[in-house]
Amino acid sequence: MDERIRTLADSLVRYSCQVKAGDRVYIHYTGESTRALAKELVRQVYAAGGLPFVHYTDPQLQRLQIMQCTKEQMELMEEALAGLLPGRLGDVQDGLLYRGARER
């Protein structure tokens, strides 16, 4: 593995998100080109004592779905994502990682 990926994942998990034991971490990656980083993020989250939750988006399938869906379907998808992220997995932050809420 490229050492830069390991370094980036370590920085994201330990410094940027400060993942601690018991934190729930949502890792969303898009496209095959980000798979290696996502795998290393999962490793680093476990090493920090966190619980990773991984979500993959295939850009081609996403485009096909968006091009064909109705307004009602888009609203349902929005509700589903809103229900998944904030209450269950924690604070939504810009970027690749979303760290679960914990006592500070």
Strand, helix or coil for residue 18: coil
Q: pTM here?
A: 0.73
Task: Give the number of other Cβ atoms within 10 Å of residue 53's Cβ.
Answer: 19
For the chain, the domains span 3-99
For residues 84-95, give the mean pLDDT. Answer: 45
* Superfamily of domain 3-99 in the CATH hierarchy: Thermophilic metalloprotease (M29) (3.40.1830.10)
Helix 3-10 and helix 35-47, axial crossing angle in degrees, nearest 10: 50
User: Exposed/middle/buried for 66, CB within 10 Å: 0-12, 13-18, 19+?
Assistant: exposed
> Above 70 in pLDDT, residue 98?
no
Give the HSE-up count for residue 85: Cα atoms under 13 Å, Cβ half-sphere: 17
Whether residue 87 has pLDDT greater than 80: no
For 19-60, write each residue's pLDDT tens digit. 999 998 989 899 999 999 999 999 999 999 999 999 898 999
**Res 72 pLDDT > 70:** yes
Mean pLDDT for 73-95 is 62
